[in-house]
Structure 1
Amino acid sequence: MASALLVIDVQRGLFDTRPPPAEADAVIARINALAERARAAGAAVIFVQHEAAGTPLQHGGERWALDPRLQVRDGDRYVRKTTPDSFLRTDLQAQLQALGVDRLVVAGYASEFCVDTSVRRAAALGYPVTVAADAHTTHDKPHADAAFIRAHHNLTLADVTSFGPAIRAQAAEAIDFAR
């Protein structure tokens, strides 16, 4: 069995904003380091991209593209999605099954939407999930700043036990993809 790193929605239209998501440069650097460790351990790296017709995130558009700071390599995989759930109406589950993946590490954007929803869905499908606690981000909201939102989701996701498989939050540098 194997692990996979899911990098959710780190796209130009979501990161090339004023202001950018919280700690955008540091988050992308942590994602790049995670991806290199994943590849070195033989784990799949899967980039998930959100799209919506008629918006700046329209498939194939400049703003739909991955953030250019991401270090993408040959052999990386891609998933297109249209909802906060990276599994809904996508081929993500089929890709994971074909690769024999039994554990996921999740990073990306936005902590309270696509990261949260995809982590919960993964656990519901039977995958133990490690949330890269400092490698996901969002924008400040009127009710809470991004740092609070990220901390809140790191704590609440790790408290969800009803799906069965464990969800945990761990600093990116401490995540080990080797078995």
Structure 2
Amino acid sequence: MKKALLVIDVQNGMFQEGNVVYKGERMLQNLKDLIVQARSTETPIFYIQHNAPAGNLLEYGTKGWEIHPELTPKKNQDVIIQKTTPDSFYNTSLDEELKKQGIEHLVVAGIQTEACVDTTCRRAFSMEYKVTLVSDTHSTWNSQDITAQQIINHHNEVLRWFAAVYPSKDITFDR
């Protein structure tokens, strides 16, 4: 079963000084390690890039919208999918691009746990993809009522209905 790594919304705007996503540096390091492993096994990497309306942090074409520089996609190798909703499949070419490459299993990481990561995992499952959520490689911010860590823990439990959930050290990509 051919796998792909899906990197959701790891954009500069998520790392604003004074409002960096929870444990952002650790998440970036885990992602960089996954990307190295994926590249070494020729596993396709799909970057999902959120496009927010004008005036927002992830406004198309702005510095905040750009993919984080530590995760720079390789031209003519990685696929970048533009989206405007939490669902990486809705009104995008993601499904078509995955099918073109014969991909049936998605390894999901990125931002924001309770929005884009959650929605994309559930949608991928409904579209009959096998899904693996990387438990220590998605993140969010504290909400008014609960901490970012509680949100992450909760989603790692709830999303087990839709995905296998493993830490990054247990993720493997086959050649």
TM-score scaled by length of structure 2: 0.94
Distance of aligned partners of 1:68 and 1:16 in 2 relative to their CA distance in 1, 3 Å threshold: farther
Residue in 2 that maps onto 1:48: 48
Shift of 1:134: 0.1
**Alpha-carbon distance, 1:23 to partner:** 0.7
Q: Percent identity?
A: 36
Q: Which runs of 5+ in 2 are unaligned?
A: none
Measure, in 1, the Cα distance between the counterparts of 2:72 and 2:134: 17
* TM-score relative to the length of structure 1: 0.92
1:116 paired residue number? 118
1:156 is matched with: 158
Counterparts of 1:72 and 1:115 in 2: how far apart (Å)? 19
2:64 maps to 63
C-alpha distance in 1, partners of 2:120/2:93?
14
Which whole-Å CA distance do the structure 2 matches of 1:13 and 1:126 have between them?
Answer: 32
Q: C-alpha deviations, 1:58-77, integer Å up to 9, x for none?
A: 21111100112224333111
**Stretches of structure 1 lacking an aligned partner (at least 5 in a row):** 161-166
Separation (CA, whole Å) in 2 of partners of 1:32 and 1:173: 12
CA-to-aligned-CA distance 1:110-158 (integer Å, 9 cap, x gap): 0000000000000000011110000000011111111111111011000
The yes-or-no answer on 1:15 pairing with 2:11 is no
Q: Which residue of 1 aligns with 2:140?
A: 138
Tell me which residue corresponds to 1:31. 31
Q: Read off the aligned partner of 2:151 and give its amino acid letter.
A: I
- In structure 2, relative to structure 1, the CA distance for the partners of 1:56 and 1:22 (3 Å cut) is closer
Task: Tell me the CA shift for residue 16 of structure 1.
Answer: 2.0
Root mean square deviation of aligned Cα: 1.3
Equivalent-residue separation in structure 2 for 1:33 and 1:175 (angstroms): 10
Is the 1:32–1:71 contact (alpha carbons within 8 Å) kept by the matching residues of 2?
no
Summarize the Cα distance change of 1:109–1:17 in structure 2 as closer, same or farther, 3 Å threshold: farther
Which whole-Å CA distance do the structure 1 matches of 2:23 and 2:151 have between them? 13
Q: What SS does structure 2 have at the residue aligned with 1:135?
A: strand
Give the number of aligned pairs.
173
